[in-house]
């Protein structure tokens, strides 16, 4: 049983500030294998000329017409084609981090890898937002604010220069602020005036610089974003989102009574309702990235 005196330091920091960092979750030798697998998945994604989806699996592609070279911005649910990422999502070290926050019965709603290739330029940043904006069926969850947690694993070093995750401490206490609700979060940047209007001081943003193998946590109401990659090196970051199973039937099982649970035979619809009628495979050739916007 976890008591206030025995629980890990990240637990109280998370509840108080809306985010936390856990150092050294995966050691260096394992991270080398994860980095190699991430490069393999990037190469697999480049086989597609445009954004491609099959059920929960997705590769989001920025085509040559935008930046002169094809880039991969993100992938969803690579666990279906990567045994290594299938294990990472339900690793015992992950449940050790999550159990004091969500208990021992945990479902996984999202799995993503975000890349920030230098060639993606302006489209490798994320405007400040709260992840609650991406939950179109709030009725399938209960106690949403305390039962749903995002984790981000640094695959490459995450630095201020290459666009590390940025958060506003205590912003989860302010309710839903509607930041960036006027369009895609990967177009342009959030202006200081928009943050100030929401009661946020731009000077108080926290840059979560991470070494490979370190884990960041944040909630659905935590204001977060990131700058574009200004370096000459890619930056890969793996996001996995978990929910206390007693509050939702949505998602794939990750841990049941604390035990690691592999994926079943067929994917569950985790977030996007339209996949029930159009599971794919199909290409999405919408050109959202071409609209004019601030640099």
Query: Phi and psi for 14 in degrees, rounded to 5?
Result: -65, -50
182 pairs with which residues across the strands? none
Q: Where are the beta strands (DSSP E) in 19-56?
A: 19-22, 51-54
- Residues 6 or more apart from 265 whose CB is under 8 A from it? none
Across the chain, which distance is largest between two alpha carbons, in Å? 56
Q: Which residue has the tokens 């989102």?
A: 241
Q: How far is CA 203 from CA 18, 19, 84, 206, 212, in A?
A: 18, 18, 39, 9, 27
Using CA atoms, how far apart are residues 140 and 72, in angstroms rounded to an integer?
A: 31
Using CA atoms, how far apart are residues 24 and 212, in angstroms rounded to an integer?
A: 8
Closest to 148 (Cα-Cα) out of 10, 19, 244: 244
pLDDT of residue 294: 40
* Token reading at 204: 């108080």
pLDDT of residue 69: 86
- Residues 6 or more apart from 5 whose CB is under 8 A from it? none
To 10 degrees, what angle do helices 92-102 and 9-17 make?
A: 50
pLDDT of residue 142: 61
Using CA atoms, how far apart are residues 38 and 29, in angstroms rounded to an integer?
A: 15
- Give residue limits of the domains in the chain: 26-258
pLDDT of residue 121: 67
In the CATH scheme, what is the homologous superfamily, with its name and number, of domain 26-258?
A: q2cbj1_9rhob like domain (2.60.120.620)
Q: Where are the beta strands (DSSP E) in 26-134?
A: 51-54, 57-62, 71-76, 106-115, 126-129
Using CA atoms, how far apart are residues 141 and 143, in angstroms rounded to an integer?
A: 7
pLDDT of residue 105: 97
* Token reading at 285: 């050739």
Taking the CA atoms of 230, 231, 235 and 241 in sequence, report the sign of the dihedral they define.
negative
> Which DSSP symbol is given to 153?
E
pLDDT average per 10 residues of sequence, the chain (295 residues): 70 97 97 98 96 96 85 96 98 96 96 88 87 69 78 97 96 92 85 95 98 97 94 94 91 96 88 78 90 48
pLDDT of residue 295: 38
């Amino acid at each position: 049983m976890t008591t206030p005196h025995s629980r890990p330091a990240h637990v109280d920091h998370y509840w108080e500030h809306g985010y936390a960092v856990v150092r050294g979750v995966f050691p260096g030798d394992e991270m080398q294998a994860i980095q190699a697998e991430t490069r393999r998945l990037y190469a697999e994604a480049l086989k597609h000329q445009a954004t491609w989806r099959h059920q929960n699996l997705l590769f989001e592609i920025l085509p040559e017409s935008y930046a002169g070279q094809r880039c991969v911005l993100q992938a969803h649910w690579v666990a279906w084609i990567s045994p290594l990422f299938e294990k990472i999502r339900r690793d015992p070290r992950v449940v050790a981090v999550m159990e004091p926050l969500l208990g021992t019965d945990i479902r996984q709603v999202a799995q993503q890898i975000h890349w920030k290739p230098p060639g993606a330029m302006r489209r490798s940043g994320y405007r400040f937002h709260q992840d609650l904006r991406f939950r179109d069926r709030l009725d399938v969850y209960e106690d949403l604010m305390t039962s749903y947690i995002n984790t981000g694993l640094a695959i490459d070093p995450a630095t201020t220069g290459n666009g590390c995750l940025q958060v506003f401490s205590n912003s989860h206490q302010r309710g839903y602020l509607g930041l960036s609700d006027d369009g895609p979060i990967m177009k342009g940047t959030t202006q200081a005036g928009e943050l100030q209007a929401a009661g946020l001081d731009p000077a108080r943003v926290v840059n979560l610089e991470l070494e490979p193998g370190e884990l960041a946590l944040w909630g659905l109401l935590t204001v977060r974003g990131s700058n574009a990659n200004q370096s000459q090196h890619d930056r890969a970051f793996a996001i996995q989102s978990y929910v206390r199973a007693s509050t939702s039937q949505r998602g794939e099982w990750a841990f049941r009574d604390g035990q690691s649970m592999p994926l079943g035979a067929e994917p569950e619809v985790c977030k996007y309702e339209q996949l029930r009628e159009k599971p794919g495979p199909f290409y999405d050739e919408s050109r959202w990235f071409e609209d004019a916007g601030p640099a």
